[in-house]
A and B are shown apart, each in its own frame.
Chain A
Amino acid sequence: MSTPILSVRALERRVGNTEILRRIDLDVMPGEAIGVIGPSGSGKSSLLRCIAGLDEVSGGAVMVEGRQTRPGDGAVGMVFQQFNLWPHLTARENVALALKLVRRMPAADAAAKADAALARVGLGALGGRKPAALSGGQQQRVAIARTLAMEPRVLLFDEPTAALDPELTTEVLDVIRDLAAAGTTMLVVSHEMGFVARLSTRVVFLDHGVVVQAAPPAELFSPRAEPRVRSFLQTYLDRVAWAREA
């Protein structure tokens, strides 16, 4: 068995008296795609933000390849729910900026690499467009390309389709699925249960800052799952049933 690329050890986060995350342990192997699900306020986004180093941890450690991470060290890349593209720059410039400033690539090389990253998410022809001239799904794909171009060891997706309408969701999920198929190590927080079930090697169910269950999807999305997990998933099944009847 290989060594984990990402290790979360007894991770805790408190804000005032509120415990957001309580002693989270998680090992992620290279090439794994971890789905993170759970009710709102369960700590899913906090877990990702603590792994990224954007939120301060109150205890425990996050290690990528044995080293403690901090934001911007290249170990971890993050894709946000709100895309966070810089509106005054074109898609290509959004992707190229860090290549120029951080990797110190010459402008032409950075632009070429940006175009390659955009092509990988199916946007090779739209590099010259500003974010405002792109659909939500295209904007999120640019954000993915921007993160990919820096070649992080682990990719974090924080509800990448939550700000998109259903028709634009598919194109983003397809890109994430392609990346997972290509062996990218990733953690994906999502409410798209069908997508999580098909994408993930393992699914982590969080509730009140605790890992209730971490298991392969076939186990977690089954009647054998923990009762809390089943009751959560039942609300999704009810909704689908309602939609079928309607």
Chain B
Amino acid sequence: MMQALLDSFAAAARGLPLTLAIWGAGVATGLALGFVVAALRFFAPAALSWPLAAAVEAVRGVPFLVQCFLLYFGGPFIGIDLTPIVAGWVALSVYGAAYFSEVFRAGFMAVPPGHLEAARMLGIPRNQAVLRIMLPMMALAVLPSLANLAVILIKETAILSIITVPELTFRVQGVGSATFAFAETTLVLAIVYWALVEATAVASRFAERRIARALAA
């Protein structure tokens, strides 16, 4: 039993770098994509914002597990043939973007119209008003929600194991399959993910404070 635990921790350590890399990449592209989607939904004409709204609803309405299957196993039928790691990164980005975009959209809506009217009366061009007034104002409001979502996404990376991404869960489950020590390996997974979530939560709170201070300065 002790050996199974040690093997599991060793496997977790081997899988950890890929988990962190795919999570970091997924959060980064998810944020960028989510911001663009939110901005288009907020500023673009209805013809563009409606399909985007439908896409966001679809992504939020389908389990992440099913989305991974669709992309990895269904993709080749329409010419999208991705390696497991790339498929995992794309799936995580799209899934994250749907949720991030809703937070950004709420942020856009939270800026009082009067603040932009004041800018308009002074002759400040619309794009400058968005850049200098709207974005800094919404950044402070959306930061905690974005950080929270990013922390949640780290747990979702576990699902990528089912499309054979050799990340943390995949590696540790490999130990389970080889030794039949399923209880030990699952316990190790629980401990490692919990530790990861706590670490990223602390890190994100630190980053949040730094960014808030930078914006306030």
List residues of chain A with CB under 8 Å of any chain B CB.
Answer: 52, 54, 71-74, 76-78, 80, 82, 84-88, 97-98, 101-102, 130, 143, 146-147, 150
Contact = CB atoms under 8 A, between A and B. Distances in A.
B112 A82 contact: yes
Contact of B115 (A54, A74, A84, A150): A84
Contacts of A72: 120-124
A130 B216 CA distance: 9
B209 interface: no
B177 interface: no
15 contacts: A54-B120, A72-B123, A73-B123, A77-B121, A78-B117, A78-B118, A78-B121, A82-B114, A84-B118, A86-B137, A98-B124, A101-B124, A102-B122, A130-B216, A146-B122
A93 B122 CA distance: 14
A245 B122 CA distance: 46
A76 B114 contact: no
Interface string B127-152: 01000110011001000000000000
Nearest to A152: B121
A88 B121 contact: no
Interface of B: 112, 114-115, 117-125, 128, 132-133, 136-137, 140, 215-216
Contact of B117 (A73, A84, A146): A84
Contacts of B119: 86, 98
Given A88-B137, A101-B128, A150 B122 contact: yes
Contacts of B124: 72, 97-98, 101-102
A146 B123 CA distance: 12
Contacts of B137: 86-88
Nearest to A54: B117
Instruction: Name the prevailing secondary structure of the B interface residues.
Output: helix
Contacts, number: 65
A74 B121 CA distance: 8
B73 to A, nearest CB: 47
A110 to B, nearest CB: 12
Given A97-B132, A101-B132, A84 B112 contact: yes
A88 B140 contact: yes
B147 to A, nearest CB: 19
Nearest to B122: A98
Contacts of A97: 122, 124, 132
Contacts of B125: 101
Contacts of B216: 88, 130
A225 B88 CA distance: 77
A71 B137 CA distance: 22
Nearest to B140: A88
Given A88-B137, A88-B215, A71 B115 contact: no
A102 B117 contact: no
A75 B119 CA distance: 14
A74 B123 CA distance: 7
Contacts of A86: 115, 118-119, 133, 137
A245 to B, nearest CB: 39
B152 to A, nearest CB: 28
Interface centre among A54, A86, A87, A97, by most chain B C-beta atoms within 10 angstroms, is: A86
Contacts of B112: 82, 84
Given A101-B128, A101-B132, A84 B114 contact: yes
Given A78-B118, A84-B115, A98-B123, 17 more contacts: A54-B120, A54-B121, A71-B120, A72-B121, A74-B123, A77-B121, A77-B122, A78-B121, A80-B114, A84-B118, A88-B136, A88-B137, A88-B216, A101-B128, A102-B122, A146-B118, A150-B123
B136 to A, nearest CB: 5
3 A-B pairs closest in CB distance: A72-B123, A98-B122, A84-B118
A78 B216 CA distance: 26
